[in-house]
Amino acid sequence: MAKQLNPNDVLLEVKDLKKHFVSRHGLFGQHTTRVQAVDGVSFKILRGETLGLVGESGCGKSTTGRTIIRLYDVTSGEVIFDGVDISKVSQGEMRQYRKKIQMIFQDPYASLNSRMTVGDIIGEPIDIHNIAKGEERQKIIWNLLERVGLSKEHANRYPHEFSGGQRQRIGIARALAVNPDFIICDEPISALDVSIQAQVVNMLEDLQKELGLTYLFIAHDLSMVKHISDRIGVMYLGKLVELANSDELYDNPNHPYSQALLSAIPIPDPDATKHGQRIVLEGDVPSPINPPSGCRFRTRCKYVMDVCKEVEPEFIEISPNHFSACHLNTVNK
Amino acid sequence: MSEQTINKALWENIPKENKDAEVISRPSMTYWQDAWRRLKKNKLSMLGLLFIFFMVMTAIIGPYVISHDYSTQQLQLANIPPKIDIYKVDDATYIYMHSEYKLFNVTADGLLSDKIKETENDLTNRKRVYNIDGNEVVLDYSYASKKVEENPDGVKFKLFMNGEEMKVYDSVHNKSYVLGTDGLGRDMLARVIYGARISLLIAFIATVVNFFIGVLYGGVSGYFGGRVDNLMMRIVDIINVIPLLLYVILLSVIIGSGLKSIIIALGSVYWVSMARIVRGQVLSLKEQEYVLAARTLGASSMRIMIRHLIPNAMGPIIVSMTMLIPSAIFTEAFLSFIGLGVNAPLASWGTLANDALGGLRSYPYQLFYPSLAISVTMLAFNFLGDGLRDALDPRLRK
């Protein structure tokens, strides 16, 4: 992937983003439970870049995406989009940024309203932002449908008449309707079968080339993430544990969790599997309501040391553009 | 093995027409067309729907078609049943003997004309003498008070013409009043049809009011959730625990009993169940990804509510509305029955049933027809509601 990226042209910067869900119970809500879904995540995305975000279920990847687009209110931290901190603007002011940031959802069956025609679904952002009316609106819808490989006859159909892959493409067309700069792809291919996954991923890549889009690509399918991403961040229990260029991460995973995650990728070569070792993690992910002290991964880490329990490891640059949060990097030196 | 030459062109992939892959050949079917297709398969529901249609049409045009008015009293022709026993005087003259010992002129096929005036009324011997076309007809109703030994057959009266006992000539349908008349000589058919108007009107208004208040209230409560939801649902709980009867009695005291107070009472209390259903639906639907998608697009709460949440909750809303109609009809009938309903001469099925109570042993038909109307209508709505639930249930949707 020979993309020309300007390292100074940062489109989105996330600084120490936190999203805690507080639930109240008891008669007067006197007891509170705090779920630390995202707890201090920082990263930058350059214009035209694709940042992959991986991690197991419940680690806060989707919450990170949804918090960036303000589906959830930010608990603390900053989300700087194109130089403006959008984490604190009002919902009314947020409207203009909604034209620039869009989202593609995981479940193509749930993300389209089954009572609306495909034309109306794609036309909804056009109506909301008063982009066009009447014939012009129709033309935009047809263009978008053709852009995602469907035909204009499909505009009068209902979502349930389409296959999963087609529906996901309708979702992409809807996101493209406002001409966004940045698209958050929230596991857009997890619900699709493998042949369709490639189709959708290739389309996302083509669209990126044509329209100069920037992606935050959230997924748990590591091979697919490696294929599409320039850089990859690994999340564990609400925190970013490692962030590196995709090739670097796959060749030299630094964090024990990344190593375990990558060892789980099946390799289509019987010899390689014999020699390679599969790191199996013991135990379950601890609850984000009451995360472990110090390093959050320490309960399942085979290199666990005393320091891991007391001190939270810092997210440091261990080699150029390769960040990791593990005490192994500092203690041994 | 001889070498065979295989044409390389055979190994070429068959070019796939890109367009063909995306064509959908199935005819386009909206949610409602699909639901209607499934509803049509349910025979009982269609029967119910047909009956409701028939009932509504009857209620609308019936009063203009039938010859009698619902409020015109014919006191002489009171309490005449739908089936009458007639006696023959001569070939052109037939009489009907009413159980209140009154004689009426009637034709052979059951068309009533007028009451015959007696020429002599002997109260001591319990005899009435009539002169019909020169024949002396004597009605002896002393048998009713005779002892069993003297009256072994248990008859209550005997009719004699010129000294000879008359036998029942025929039992014919009442042509003048198909369903008979009530205690004030009003046509039962006209009153039952008119009752359908009142009952269906109340059901319709109650349902429309429920729909608007319930959907709005439940929608707001479910959409905003949290503290707003908590507060709004507690108000619903409070309204729900006040017995409807108490409510109607209080309203009747303030604005007087009648159509208005029943409609206000039903309208102000019945939306509670609708609000709960809509709230539950909205609560689950608002977490759906298409709602999140609309929010990321910057859609307003109003737009999300109208375009996304309510259309998707429409199935359960319609089912609960169809189930609510029979309940409203029954409540109205019940309130009218205990005397809190519409005022005379207006008739609803409940007041008709109530009016019939006094003469129940003598004239059971007066209770039978309004009760039948109530039961069959409720049954029809329930059948339709069941069918709609099956047809609109997304879990059964394939």
Contact A106, A187 (CB under 8 A): yes
Cα first-last separation, chain A: 34
Greater model confidence, B390 or A232:
A232
The whole-number pLDDT of residue A333 equals 52
With the C-alpha atoms ordered A208, A213, A219, A222, is the resulting torsion angle positive or negative? Answer: positive
Asked if residue B16 has pLDDT above 60, the reply is no
Delimit the domains of chain B by residue range.
83-173, 188-396
Closest C-alpha to B309, from B325, B290, B323: B290
To the nearest whole Å, the CA of A282 is away from the closest chain B CA by 33
According to the model, what pLDDT value does residue A1 have? 47
Tell me the mean pLDDT in the region A298-304.
86
B:282-321 residues touching chain A, CB 8 A cutoff: 288-290, 292-299, 303, 307-308, 311-312, 314
Q: CA of B27, closest CA in chain A: separation in Å?
A: 9
pLDDT for the residue numbered A273: 58
Contact partners, residue B11, CB within 8 Å, separation at least 6: none
Pick the closest to residue A170 from A141, A198, A191 (CA basis): A141
Q: CA–CA separation, B293 vs A172, rounded Å?
A: 11
Q: Which residue has the higher pLDDT, A119 or A278?
A: A119
B158 or A179, greater pLDDT: A179
> Of A249, A242, A287, A245, whose CA–CA distance to A265 is shortest?
A249
Residue B386 has pLDDT above 90, yes or no: no
Mean pLDDT along residues A178-191: 89
Q: Which residues have CB under 8 Å from B176's CB, separation 6+?
A: B77, B80, B110, B111, B112
Flag whether residue A75 sits within 8 Å of chain B, measured between CB atoms.
Answer: no
pLDDT at A274 (0 to 100) = 57
- Per DSSP, chain B holds a count of helices (H) and strands (E) of 13, 10
* Contact present, B255 and B346 (Cβ < 8 Å): no
Q: What is the spatial distance between Cα A58 and Cα A105, in angstroms, rounded to a whole number? A: 16
pLDDT at res. B12: 74
**Which alpha helices (H) appear in A150-269, and where do they start and end?**
164-176, 194-211, 222-228, 246-251, 256-263
User: Mean pLDDT over residues B328-355, rounded?
Assistant: 82
pLDDT one-digit tens code per residue, A130-170: 888 888 999 999 999 988 888 888 888 888 888 888 899 99
CA dist A126 and A109 (Å) reads 22
The DSSP symbol for A160 reads: G
Residue B283's CB: how many other CB atoms inside 10 A?
16
Q: What is the pLDDT of residues B46-95, one digit of tens each?
A: 999 999 999 899 888 887 878 777 777 777 777 777 877 777 777 777 87
Set of chain B residues whose Cβ sits within 8 Å of the Cβ of A99: 298
Range A272-281 contact pairs with CB under 8 angstroms and sequence separation of 24 or more? A281/A257
What's residue A231's pLDDT?
Answer: 92
pLDDT of residue A214: 92
d(CA B339, CA B354): 8
Average pLDDT over residues A95-119: 88
pLDDT, position B125: 75
Q: Are the beta carbons of B312 and A113 separated by less than 8 Å?
A: yes
Q: Greatest CA span in chain A, whole angstroms?
A: 68
Residues A256 and A235 sit within 8 Å (Cβ to Cβ): no
Mean pLDDT score, B339-346: 77
Q: Which of B190, B196, B213 lies closest to B380 in space, CA to CA? A: B196
pLDDT at A112 over 80: yes
Instruction: Kindly state the average pLDDT of the residues A205-222.
Output: 89
Pick the closest to residue B220 from B169, B177, B283 (CA basis).
Answer: B283
Residues ≥6 apart with Cβ < 8 Å to B230 = none
Cα A314 to Cα A330: distance, rounded to the nearest angstrom: 9
Report the mean per-residue pLDDT for chain A.
86
Contact B299 A124 (CB under 8 A): yes
Q: What percent of chain B has pLDDT over 90?
A: 8
* Alpha-carbon span B94 to A220, nearest angstrom: 95
Amino acid A298 reads R
For residue A22, report the phi and psi dihedrals to the nearest 5 degrees.
Answer: -105, 125
How many Å lie between the alpha carbon of B301 and the closest alpha carbon of chain A?
11
Query: CA of A162: which chain B residue's CA is closest?
Result: B24
- How far is it, in rounded angstroms, from Cα B193 to Cα B189? 6
pLDDT confidence of residue B323: 84
| B249: pLDDT strictly greater than 60 | yes
Q: At B346, is the secondary structure helix, strand, or coil?
A: coil
Rounded CA separation B206/B203 (Å)? 5
Q: Do residue A128 and residue B298 have CB atoms under 8 angstroms apart?
A: yes
CA distance A265 to A251: 13
Give the ipTM: 0.84
Put simply, the answer to whether B295 touches A110 (Cβ < 8 Å) is no
Question: Which residue does chain B place closest to A93, by CA atoms?
Answer: B298
CA neighbor of B274 nearest in space, from B329, B342, B227, B222: B222
Phi first, then psi: what are they for A214, rounded to 5°? -115, 135
Q: Residues B362-371: what's their mean pLDDT?
A: 85
- pLDDT band at residue A183, thresholds of 50, 70 and 90? very high
CB within 8 Å: B293 and A103: yes
Query: Long-range pairs for B91-97 at CB < 8 Å and ≥24 separation?
Result: B93/B132, B93/B133, B94/B169, B95/B132, B95/B137, B97/B139, B97/B157, B97/B159
A-B contacts at Cβ under 8 angstroms: 81
Whether omega before B345 lies within 30 degrees of 0, making that bond cis, reads: yes
Q: Is the pLDDT of residue B280 over 80?
A: yes
B24 touches chain A (CB under 8 A): yes
Average pLDDT over residues B257-274: 82
pLDDT at A13 over 60: yes
Helix (H) or strand (E) holding A89: none
Report the DSSP beta bridge partners of residue A101: A182
Q: Given this model, what pLDDT does residue B345 score?
A: 75
CA–CA distance, A272 with A185 (Å, rounded to integer): 32
Q: Least CB-CB distance to B26: which of A128, A154, A161?
A: A161
Q: Is A45 exposed, middle or buried (0-12, 13-18, 19+ CB in 10 A)?
A: buried
- Give B253-263 pLDDT, tens digit per residue: 888 777 888 88
Residue A251 has pLDDT above 90, yes or no: no
Band (A190; pLDDT cuts 50, 70, 90): confident
How high is the pLDDT of residue B395?
57
pLDDT tier, A192 (very low <50, low <70, confident <90, very high otherwise): confident
Helix (H, G, I), strand (E, B) or coil at A30: coil
Within 8 A of B314 by CB-CB distance, chain A residues are 115
Burial status of residue A203 (CB atoms within 10 A of its CB: 0-12, 13-18, 19 or more): middle
CA distance A156 to chain B (A): 8
Q: Which residues of B touch A168 (CB under 8 A)?
A: none
Task: Specify whether the CB–CB gap between A37 and A20 falls below 8 A.
Answer: yes
Lowest mean pLDDT among A253-267, A276-290, B3-17: B3-17
Searching chain A, which residue's CA lies closest to the CA of residue B292? A71
Shortest distance between the Cα of A125 and any Cα of chain B, in A, equals: 6
CATH number attached to the domain at B188-396: 1.10.3720.10
Position B398 scores a pLDDT of: 41
Residue A123 in this model has a pLDDT that exceeds 50: yes
CA B101/CA A190 separation, integer angstroms? 88
Examine the pLDDT at A184 and tell me if it is beyond 90. Answer: yes
Q: For residue range B193-214, what is the model confidence (pLDDT) as tens digits?
A: 888 888 888 888 888 888 899 9
Residues B61-65: contacts with CB under 8 Å, at least 24 apart: B62/B193, B62/B196, B63/B190, B63/B193, B63/B194, B63/B197
Q: Please give the structure tokens belonging to residue A106.
A: 């995981």
Chain-chain contact of A103 with B296 (C-beta, under 8 angstroms): yes
The pLDDT confidence band at residue B397, using thresholds 50, 70 and 90, is very low
B87 within 8 A of B99, measured Cβ to Cβ: no
A321 versus B138: the higher-pLDDT residue is A321
DSSP string, B14-29: PPPPHHHHH---SPP-
- What confidence score (pLDDT) does residue B115 get? 77
**Kind plus residue range of the DSSP H or E element containing B62:** helix B43-65
Q: Judged by CB atoms within 8 Å, which residues 168-227 of A form the interface with B? A: 171, 174, 178
Q: In this model, does residue B396 exceed pLDDT 90?
A: no
Token pair 């935009």: residue: A140
User: What average pLDDT does range A63-85 have in this prediction?
Assistant: 89
Please check the confidence at residue B331 and state whether its pLDDT lies above 90.
no
pLDDT digits (tens, 9 = 90+) for B178-190: 777 777 778 888 8
Report the alpha-carbon distance of residue B325 to residue B388 in Å, rounded. Answer: 14
Residue A103 in contact with partner chain B when CB distance is under 8 A: yes
